[in-house]
Structure 1
């Protein structure tokens, strides 16, 4: 009970001291408030941008790979330069049997079509891909209407298609298009699904997907492809697999392992990790900028506490003369510094949170737009906790030197001194 009374007395004393110099304390606290305010806004903007960028990877399963054949550039015995690396369906089957960690595989054959038409409309500027039924387990597109391909569609090479939203509207206005037919360069296909719209950076509104064998039979004499996709089972390391499959392909397709032009492997997990690491660096820099602003406020608090110690020299001397310990004097100044910093920082934190919510409200349409890469400002709990911890530590550091100076004052010199 005595301890609680002592704490309450100290708080009341500090509050009385702060009220005596309102303007000075407000100006001192403004530097700290401004530092926290800018810190929260900067880190919040960085987190919002990171969320928008990471949306780009939501179209893919975590352990997915896209392997593209290129042209050899290094010539060695048995390895001629200038060869085009092309893959066949059989290569993918052998690869899957060789690596039990592979879960799904799919070819991806691109066809540059010229014209689509239905009975009443025509459409140009589209992209057509030949794939199999596992494709949409690797690339996680959703359908707004209809269904995906199934293994029977692959086996029977059916004339069916899954199309994008723009193509559906362009050929059939806004009618229900599942089950209807369209013609691509003289071949008729039945629509079994319509893709749900995705973000600007994974635009599928003008895409057409057709069973791989169907596309080959109608439009290609060459039965090879320059791209295929695969995904790993969850427990496997994507980085180790990338190294292993590159070794495997270099031996089977006879190109030098150091030849960067022979094949390109897009390791989605590795790309996502690189982006995350980049944003860690960016957020670290933003924290540094914010902390530097906060530091200027902390220096202001330290200077003001030095002034406070000088103004209260006689008071401190009297306290020590009647029995106050150096430790209690140190805590008195230190607590005052921490409270000034803490209150100022909480004010800045609340102001920043209010501004963040206001900005997100104003730009709500842009945030909700799937084509936007910026997903608003984000103030999360870790940032708030980190800011508060920074405040407490900063207040202690700011008041430490003035507090130690006050604690070292000799009572006789302090009592006989004159305040300015």
Structure 2
């Protein structure tokens, strides 16, 4: 079959449209199969990105330590004891665990009041050091992050979260250099983050304001107590590998039983990322199974209909053979009809899935979430190639059935 032979293309289309209802019902199986595959793949990838955006900025190889009441009596101390992490623990971990790359303290005040003139909101006020950026990248839109000098000089400077900036400075593009009231104390804005993650340690990043750790400790008179300690592992190590050693050092320093699993809580970002990755890997496998299964059922439908078509065209095929048509011509003709029917139905399925995914993405963006629900170009090309292959496979059995027809049998059948 010549690709640009218009007569043969016209014959293929006439054969397909000869029985419109049957062709439409057959094509629907392929349409639905490829639609399900593409839509579910694009949807699962969009959900993966949406979930990943909730952890945006966090170092995957990081962990946060927080305290809880003890659950076991130890060293003459009763269970149910309240205790706190302290600044000395930061030095203990820095010098006691060589595989730790960054270790930094955190403190926070929930429900803090933020004001700028007539604009006000409540959020989380966090005290952090400059090296906190190694654990949670602030992705600055304007200005700079906190520095060691800010902490050393107890400066009243702050970095605003994305939502805080929008609420307090709705008509200002760059608020850096301006002053805001944080719990009644004025701070100068030195930076604005663009992080939109909904998950964060001691409060989401977009609804938080970051100030120097020492400034917050002094203003709230918290002494040497810290609410959490964050750390990252050096290249070649994981925080999961370091966790037993970290727990041992902290528990030993605070007279906590080594077997007490409740007293020290670890928020392991490595585990969280792995859980999300495994979840969506499982979803992806399920999507492929559903999509391929539906596609195969559609291909079987195409093959069955083509078998019926071949049976109806027995005399036509016999006459072709009688007047000198080569077996390759018959084979190509039947397979081309199967491939064309499959590709047309499949392309409509891909287009419909892409349009629906675009609608989902628009609705998601309108609700304030940033995620792409579109399939990649490679996935679209792969789907088109799969359709061509599927159409060819669906046409194999009918094609060989057509080749088995002998001219004399076809005339006798007529």
Shift of the 15–135 alpha-carbon distance from structure 1 to 2, 3 Å rule, reads: same
Give unmatched runs, 5+ long, in structure 1: 1-5
In the alignment, structure 1 residue 373 sits paired with structure 2 residue 388:
no
Cα deviations by residue, 1:292-328 (Å, 9 ceiling, x for unpaired): 4434432321121111221232344456667878777
In the alignment, structure 1 residue 416 sits paired with structure 2 residue 412:
yes
Q: Pick from 3, 27, 30 the counterpart of residue 29 of structure 1.
A: 27
- 1:69–1:263 Cα contact (<8 Å) kept: yes
When structure 1 is superposed on structure 2, of 38-47 and 53-62 the one drifting more is 38-47
Shift of the 174–305 alpha-carbon distance from structure 1 to 2, 3 Å rule, reads: closer
Cα deviations by residue, 1:108-133 (Å, 9 ceiling, x for unpaired): 11235766678x66957342222212
When structure 1 is superposed on structure 2, of 10-19 and 256-265 the one drifting more is 10-19
Aligned length: 405
User: How far apart, in 1, do the equivalents of 2:68 and 2:207 lie?
Assistant: 26
Q: Pick from 67, 70, 81 the counterpart of residue 68 of structure 2.
A: 70
- 2:165–2:192 Cα contact (<8 Å) kept: no
2:11 alignment counterpart: 16
Shift of the 206–17 alpha-carbon distance from structure 1 to 2, 3 Å rule, reads: closer
The DSSP-based 3-state class of the residue aligned with 2:59 is: coil
1:400 alignment counterpart: 396
When structure 1 is superposed on structure 2, of 274-283 and 106-115 the one drifting more is 106-115
Q: TM-score, normalised by structure 1?
A: 0.79
How far apart are 1:222 and its partner, in Å? 4.8
In the alignment, structure 1 residue 390 sits paired with structure 2 residue 390:
no
In the alignment, structure 1 residue 133 sits paired with structure 2 residue 130:
yes
Q: Pick from 55, 59, 63 the counterpart of residue 53 of structure 2.
A: 55
- 2:162–2:206 Cα contact (<8 Å) kept: yes
User: How far apart, in 2, do the equivalents of 1:271 and 1:62 lie?
Assistant: 9
User: How far apart, in 2, do the equivalents of 1:214 and 1:84 lie?
Assistant: 25
Where do 1:157-236 residues align within 5 Å? Answer: 157-164=154-161, 176=175, 178=177, 180=179, 182=181, 184=183, 188-199=185-196, 201-202=198-199, 203-204=204-205, 206-236=207-237
The DSSP-based 3-state class of the residue aligned with 1:108 is: strand
User: How far apart, in 2, do the equivalents of 1:396 and 1:198 lie?
Assistant: 49
- 1:161–1:189 Cα contact (<8 Å) kept: no
Shift of the 54–396 alpha-carbon distance from structure 1 to 2, 3 Å rule, reads: same
- 1:68–1:228 Cα contact (<8 Å) kept: yes
1:152 alignment counterpart: 149
Where do 1:242-261 residues align within 5 Å? Answer: 242=243, 244-246=245-247, 248-250=249-251, 252-253=253-254, 255=256, 259-261=260-262
Cα deviations by residue, 1:300-357 (Å, 9 ceiling, x for unpaired): 2112111122123234445666787877755553443233212321233234435545
2:288 alignment counterpart: 287
User: How far apart, in 1, do the equivalents of 2:135 and 2:72 lie?
Assistant: 32
Q: TM-score, normalised by structure 2?
A: 0.80
User: How far apart, in 2, do the equivalents of 1:115 and 1:310 lie?
Assistant: 80
2:241 alignment counterpart: 240
The DSSP-based 3-state class of the residue aligned with 2:55 is: helix
- 1:10–1:332 Cα contact (<8 Å) kept: no
- 2:65–2:267 Cα contact (<8 Å) kept: yes
- 2:158–2:189 Cα contact (<8 Å) kept: yes
How far apart are 1:378 and its partner, in Å? 0.7
- 1:14–1:336 Cα contact (<8 Å) kept: no
- 2:90–2:103 Cα contact (<8 Å) kept: yes
Give unmatched runs, 5+ long, in structure 2: none
User: How far apart, in 2, do the equivalents of 1:41 and 1:411 lie?
Assistant: 47
- 2:97–2:245 Cα contact (<8 Å) kept: no
In the alignment, structure 1 residue 89 sits paired with structure 2 residue 71:
no
When structure 1 is superposed on structure 2, of 21-30 and 131-140 the one drifting more is 21-30
When the two chains are superposed, the root-mean-square deviation of aligned CA atoms in Å is 3.8
1:3 alignment counterpart: none
- 1:164–1:206 Cα contact (<8 Å) kept: yes
Shift of the 324–151 alpha-carbon distance from structure 1 to 2, 3 Å rule, reads: same
User: How far apart, in 2, do the equivalents of 1:356 and 1:335 lie?
Assistant: 31
